Structure 1
Amino acid sequence: MFTHSSLARGLVLGAVLATSMLATGAQAADLRLKFAGTLPVEHQGTKTMEQIAKTIEDADVGLKVTVFPANQLGSGEELFEDTIRGNIDFSMGFIYAHKDPAFEIASMPYLAGDWDEMSAVLRNPDSAYNQVMGEHLDAIGLHLLQNNPEGFANVLSTKEPKNWDTLDPKDMNIRVWSSNVVKDTMKELGFNTTTIAWADIFPALQSGIVDGAECCTKQATYTIFAKSGVGSYYIDYNAFMEISTFYASNKTWAKLNDEQRAVVEKAFAEASDSFFQWNRDNDAAFEQKLVESGYTVLTPSPEKAAAMRDAVRAKIWPQMADIVGQDVLDRIKADVE
């Protein structure tokens, strides 16, 4: 015979079971996430993306990650926009300044001079660079995960520039990305410039629209251009770094619980460590591959490189205050000077 108390206990037990079933159902229905990038399938950056996806899934916290490399979901600018909207969950790409001029710090010339300085400026979470990037990304709907310096982004060309190791005119028109800072820097170094999107560099070089491009690390130059027989020279100015940033949509970040966020943060941090070390360890090897493929690598003497660096810093850095803001510029300079 049922009593009121036994009926109450039954109702409570039923509620507990129902809640348990709902929780189990929620765990069983994995959150499926899109992770997009722009690098070729065979590039180490894409392999790093795949490593991250596997690490997250292996943690078994209810997350499934599908990787879309090689501009499958759009160019770097398009990935940026779609990640803000939440159509893409994670992205790996360059941070362009079309949404916020403060992001021009990613194109600040001669911000680092070697791999140790790259690590200090870009990989230390407490650096001014990372703090500024994190604050400004969050303001537009993105969560900074990691900044990845891949090496120096230098000039590749189809012919040897005149006066290649001085500030004198080069008699050469090269591609630059959509940054007035980059354009002014390359003009200071003696080049004529044309703004061309990343996806259009290859046909622009093949058709002779430009004679070269400010764009690429040794790895990217070899993988994308040299292996396809495009280009003949690589000039080591080391004015800019190739920076691939891992970032997430704030809309996605809000969906994750604390455990999932911890897994994601750890996966990206560990992969970023490995990616940086791999790039550092293989930089010289890709220079050799460029030479073996027929490229000539031109490297200014330390004295001439220092002269170009000092001239560009003296001319371009003060101008950046009008773009990124004096406060941002002062924070960055305080870290690197």
Structure 2
Amino acid sequence: MKLKKYAFGIVSGLALSGLLATTALADTVRLKLAGTYPVNHFGHGIVENMIKEIEDADVGVKISYFPASQLGSGEELIEDAIRGNIDLVQAFIYAQADPRLELMNLPGLVTTFDELKAVYGDPESKLNTILGGIMDDLGLVYLANTGEGLVGIVANEKPTDYAGFGDKGMNIRVWSSEVAKKTTESLGYRTTTMNWAEVLPALQSGVIDGAICCTPEWAYSTFAAAGVGKYFIPVNTAIEASSFYASGKSWEKLNQEQRDVIRAAAERAASVAINTAWERNEGFVEQLKEAGWEILEYSPEERAAMVAHIQENVWPELADVVGQDLIDELTAN
């Protein structure tokens, strides 16, 4: 009898142990993270570290990472996240889903690194608070912004009077943003709206003369490294910013501990990306020069005149797109 009881205890223990293991396995949430960083971009490693931090927290989350736009461009990823086809995203937030998202492209809002950290890097900043509300309306969960630097123009030819506001004699690509289009045209360029994936071959074949798109790092790693382009014009009218966000449908399936771990890891990753990007900026300017590119710099007076020109001529037009109430909220002291 004692032997039978002992055997029964072993079997029962093994069964319970197996049940617990099965339950733990079943409780593991597997998420799909779609990113746009190329694998040779410094941000790729930061995302990998973020994923490791989340998984090492032992809260039952495993993440499959698809970098380098494997699952689509930023325009496509936001739509897929809204539908719940993708759980987590690292990408630029395009405004085709909601015109209020053009607030991310408000030109002249940020001109220094300190402003970049304060506006994009602080989770409690006005921009991030407003962005979180808009994303929530779309069924998305905003996590963090990574401001990688100020955006310039890559070009095959030198624009006429590049620091002025007259006709530049050039047709350049802009991303799918009414704000970017109006701003770029206010500087004297003709524009063509084009997805990021199309830019390099279009510039290479001469379909466009240039593209407003890039920090010095992106200009070097995407264009100069491919032998395309000759000039970099640091207009600095916008921020090269990608964001971490989640599908609301996926977020609902997570418990609070899992949500807290993911949000904290995303905020830390964004902070590292901002600091790292700025430190790398000057090095890539020098690499562009070594590759034979000419950097068309602005004097402080020319840059101040350009910012004033944009705020006077472009910002009023953006009220109809973004909403005057949001612009007032964002720029209020």
Could you say which TM-score interval applies, normalised by the shorter chain? over 0.9
Displacement after TM superposition at 1:23 (Å): 5.9
Pairing 1:9-88 to 2, within 5 Å after superposition: 24-29=21-26, 30-88=28-86
SS of the aligned residue for 2:96 comes to coil
Pairing 1:110-129 to 2, within 5 Å after superposition: 110-129=108-127
Deviations 1:20-44 (A, max 9, x none): 9766533223211111112211111
Aligned length: 319
* Residue 206 (structure 1) aligned to one of 190, 201, 204: 204
Instruction: State the match for 1:10 in structure 2.
Output: none
SS of the aligned residue for 2:235 comes to strand
Cα distance in 2 between the residues matched to 1:22 and 1:316: 63
Unaligned runs of 5+ in 1: 1-13
Is the counterpart of residue 298 in structure 1 residue 303 in structure 2? Answer: no
**24-33 vs 242-251, greater mean Cα deviation:** 24-33
Pairing 1:273-312 to 2, within 5 Å after superposition: 273-312=271-310
TM-score in terms of structure 2 length: 0.92
Displacement after TM superposition at 1:220 (Å): 0.8
* Residue 128 (structure 2) aligned to one of 130, 133, 141: 130
Is the counterpart of residue 91 in structure 1 residue 93 in structure 2? Answer: no
Would you say the 8 A contact 2:152–2:214 is kept in 1?
yes
Instruction: State the match for 1:265 in structure 2.
Output: 263
SS of the aligned residue for 1:165 comes to coil
Displacement after TM superposition at 1:156 (Å): 0.5
Cα distance in 1 between the residues matched to 2:55 and 2:124: 29
* Residue 160 (structure 2) aligned to one of 159, 162, 169: 162
Cα distance in 1 between the residues matched to 2:310 and 2:22: 59
* Residue 140 (structure 2) aligned to one of 142, 148, 156: 142
Cα distance in 2 between the residues matched to 1:143 and 1:24: 31
- Code of the aligned partner of 2:22: G
Cα distance in 1 between the residues matched to 2:286 and 2:319: 39
Cα distance in 1 between the residues matched to 2:205 and 2:186: 26
- Code of the aligned partner of 1:96: Y
Instruction: State the match for 1:5 in structure 2.
Output: none
Question: What percentage of residue pairs aligned between the two structures are identical?
Answer: 45
Instruction: State the match for 2:184 in structure 1.
Output: 186
Instruction: State the match for 2:6 in structure 1.
Output: none
**118-127 vs 67-76, greater mean Cα deviation:** 118-127
Deviations 1:125-166 (A, max 9, x none): 222211111001011111011011000111000111110111
Cα distance in 1 between the residues matched to 2:275 and 2:23: 38
Cα distance in 1 between the residues matched to 2:197 and 2:70: 12
Instruction: State the match for 1:241 in structure 2.
Output: 239
Cα distance in 2 between the residues matched to 1:27 and 1:86: 24
Cα distance in 2 between the residues matched to 1:223 and 1:22: 51
SS of the aligned residue for 1:242 comes to strand
- Code of the aligned partner of 1:289: Q
Pairing 1:98-109 to 2, within 5 Å after superposition: 98-109=96-107
SS of the aligned residue for 2:97 comes to coil
- Code of the aligned partner of 1:187: E
Instruction: State the match for 1:314 in structure 2.
Output: 312
- Code of the aligned partner of 2:226: S
* Residue 174 (structure 1) aligned to one of 163, 167, 172: 172
Cα distance in 1 between the residues matched to 2:266 and 2:24: 23
Displacement after TM superposition at 1:302 (Å): 0.5
Would you say the 8 A contact 2:121–2:274 is kept in 1?
no
Deviations 1:141-198 (A, max 9, x none): 1101101100011100011111011112111110011122111111111111111111
Displacement after TM superposition at 1:282 (Å): 0.8
Cα distance in 2 between the residues matched to 1:174 and 1:320: 21
Cα distance in 2 between the residues matched to 1:151 and 1:238: 9
Unaligned runs of 5+ in 2: 1-11
Cα distance in 2 between the residues matched to 1:269 and 1:130: 12
Displacement after TM superposition at 1:310 (Å): 0.3
- Code of the aligned partner of 1:306: A
